[in-house]
Amino acid sequence: MASPRTTLVAVIGTGLVGSAFIKQLLSLPSAGQKTFKLVYLASSRKSLWFSSPPSISSWKESLTASPSTPEIPSLITKLQSLVQSGDGTKAVVVDNTSDEGIASAYPLLLRAGISVVTPNKKAFSGSQSLFEDIVTSAEKGGSSFLNESTAGAGLPIIGTLKDLVATGDKILKIEGVFSGTMSYIFNNFSPATPSSSLPSFSEVVKIAKQEGYTEPHPADDLNGFDVARKLAILSRFATSSPSTGVVLQEGFKSVNTRSLIPPELEGVADASEFMSRLPEFDASFDKLRKEASNEGKILRYVGVVDLQKNEVKASLESYPTSHPLATLQGSDNIILFHTERYGARPLIVQGAGAGADVTAMGVLADLLRLG
């Protein structure tokens, strides 16, 4: 019987998602033909190599006490030296950060034969040239990159899309609610179930912030950039080649994105000031809700990748109460895949699209596929 194949795992990022991932990785049973060995951890300021995997209870203390700082070049050199044995050992970097600098280093890692698994949206929603460099670097280095968690935490969105394309189906349109924050806001502001007492837009945003659904500054959600990044990512996997379909030269910046930040509040850097002034604009949002309600519709902030119209947009739209997007509750995400094979009834993926544990689960699932 062949001995289990070893994959050396280097983890960058030890925040909420990173910590949850490390816990899940170290809790895996060692069995079968795959063995994952955690050999390296790095935070933004510290790094540490392990000769034997750390325990779930001790890794944070060990990393904090380390005198070493993280450097991508030295990480590549050390990982390459560890996989020179010729016994089939592979190396993978798991980037659990949202750091643009680390994302830009993916081509270096991939060309060196080191695979990448990540929930970091930056590389895959950035410029078209960077994305194409990632693809060609993986081919040259004989490595792989997996990024399921960049579009919907643990939801099988990218994997589903890749399977549809790989099996010859033609993607016509992808649409859905891609932001847990926007989902929560509009599920409460514009519910499908009629109510005689509805909250104002600013009240819903205030509650969402208090409940931890928004970023510390809600403008970082209301600008629509998070949705735009996810749309840029999906558009690049919606066809069999990264240079076909909808090509977004500037990545998410090329997405037609409607910001929900009132023009008068653009540039207000202080979150408290932003929230204190937001009620001044409730009337305009009330008007949008009333107009939709008069037509028997609700409001949802949606993302659309329309390959037939060659259009990618993130915007506030109205939908009939019978539409699948109107059935959402809480902060769930929902994605509809309209394809030639699925015809008039789209393939639907729905569920929690945010949270450290489910995001870490998606990252770990990618690692298992890679191994």
Copy the structure tokens of residue 157.
Answer: 């969105």
Distance CA 85, CA 134 (A): 26
CA-CA-CA-CA torsion sign (206, 211, 213, 219): positive
Secondary structure of residue 210 in the 3-state scheme: helix
Copy the structure tokens of residue 288.
Answer: 């949008």
DSSP class per residue in 6-48: EEEEEEE--SHHHHHHHHHHHTS---TTEEEEEEEEE-SS-EE
Output b/e per residue, 213-241; b: 16+ Cβ within 10 A: bbeebbbebbbbbbbbbbbbbbbbbbbee
Residue 108: what are its φ and ψ, rounded to 5°?
-60, -45
| Distances in whole angstroms, Cα of residue 131 to Cα of each of 103, 122, 146 | 10, 10, 13
Going by C-alpha positions, the residue among 204, 202, 259, 249 that lies closest to residue 228 is: 259
Catalytic one among 230, 287, 290, 313?
230
230 is catalytic: yes
- Just list the catalytic residues: 230
